[in-house]
Amino acid sequence: MARKKISLIGGGQIGGVLAQLIALRKLADVVLFDIVEDMPQGKTLDIIEASRIDGFDVKLTGVNSYEGIKDSDIVIVTAGLPRKPGMSRDDLLVTNAKIMNSVAQGVKEFAPNAIAIIISNPLDAMVTLFQKVTGFPHNRVIGQAGVLDSSRFSSFIAWELGVSVKDVNAMVLGGHGDTMVPLVRYANVNGLPVMEQLEKKYNSAEKAKEVMDAMVKRTKDAGGEVVKLLKTGSAFYSPASAATAMAEAILGDQKRVLPSCVYLNGEYGVKGYFVGVPAVLGANGCERVLEVSLNEEEKSAFDKSVNAVVSLVADMERLGF
């Protein structure tokens, strides 16, 4: 059986880490595409030259032409500008929509059967545009946001409770912006509700809520926190890890339940938009959306987040995309 092939569109910070992670995990052959001449060739050569040390023999190729992405099983898109300090993800809309438009045309022509994972920001709008331009079936277009946002939330909970992050299950839904919805009520440590653990730790429901509110806020601002520290760009290790987990779930037909930006066709009362919800990822991409019951407060936060996605997409359409 031929080895699977993952093409990475955008060979910048996230693209480079993705190439290395995929090679280290021996998931697939990798093609790294970028418009900058020689750069993807240089990065892949650098990674290949560590293959003897790390013990992988997948093939890595750097290209500047879309021909190279032919027959990809998965395409992961990171092409586009990252944020600088003081910018919101939405500030990237015009520049990145232009880039996404050209990327989608390239993928449509050269990798028409691939499953696409989109990382470029503003995420919810970029996923929408990619699907519109390619005309790919909705199950084959998935945005990466929830896996990372949930991992960030889980890290904060693990630090706060002094437990291994491996035992923390916490999910973030909604759009990939300030309105994202960390699901506090469902967050647990190996089945034990996080809120209950916080109440026991502080012996006060009020203090527990205060601590949780701070973790929720930090989760929403987590991308910006990294941007502020890096000064020259945005997070790249963690988004690459998140997309690698999604690609692994798809290539291995694992049916993992991963919060992903997927097309809603009536689920959660939303029709016709890509929004972050728990999705079953397998060989057919997004195979199913899992619905979770939300109380009034959670539902209103989710609806607010959906409205932010709707208005972002409307802005993009007004700009002619």
Q: Which of 19, 48, 99, 180 binds ligand APR (CB under 6 A)?
A: 99
Closest CB 14 distance from ligand APR, rounded Å: 3
Among positions 62, 80, 174, 282, the unique one binding ligand APR when judged by CB under 6 A: 80
Nearest Cα to 294, choosing from 280, 283, 306, 281? 306
Report if residue 146 touches ligand APR, rule: CB under 6 A.
Answer: no
Question: Residue 183's closest CA among 301, 76, 281, 86?
Answer: 301
Candidate list 62, 82, 182, 276; residue touching ligand APR; CB under 6 A: 82
Report the nearest approach of ligand APR to the CB of residue 78 (Å): 4
For 204, residues 6+ apart whose C-beta sits below 8 A from its C-beta are: none
Nearer to ligand APR, 177 or 182 (CB): 177
Q: What is the bridge-based pairing of β-strands 168-169 and 188-189?
A: antiparallel
Q: Which 218-277 residues touch ligand APR, going by CB under 6 A?
A: 233-234, 236, 239
Q: Quick check: 34 binds ligand APR (CB under 6 A)?
A: yes
User: Is 138 one of the annotated active-site residues of the chain?
Assistant: no
Of 15, 143, 175, 282, the one binding ligand APR by CB under 6 A: 15
67, 135, 137 from 267: Cα distances, Å: 37, 21, 17
Strand-pairing partners, residue 189, are: 168, 192
Assess 175 for contact with ligand APR (CB under 6 A): no
Q: At what angle do helices 146-161 and 194-202 cross, to 10 degrees?
A: 30
- 103 belongs to the binding site for ligand APR (CB under 6 A): yes
Task: Please choose, from the candidates 73, 72, 75, 91, the residue with its C-alpha nearest in 3D space to the C-alpha of residue 83.
Answer: 91
Which of these is catalytic: 176, 198, 282, 313? Answer: 176
Residue 36 or 205: which CB sits closer to ligand APR? 36
Q: How many Cβ atoms sit within 10 Å of the Cβ of residue 25?
A: 14
Report CA 147 to chain centroid distance, whole Å: 6
Please pick, from the candidates 6, 8, 9, 32, the single residue that binds ligand APR as defined by CB under 6 A.
9
Catalytic residues: 176
The contact set with ligand APR (CB under 6 A) reads 9-15, 34-36, 78-83, 92, 96, 99, 102-103, 119-121, 233-234, 236, 239
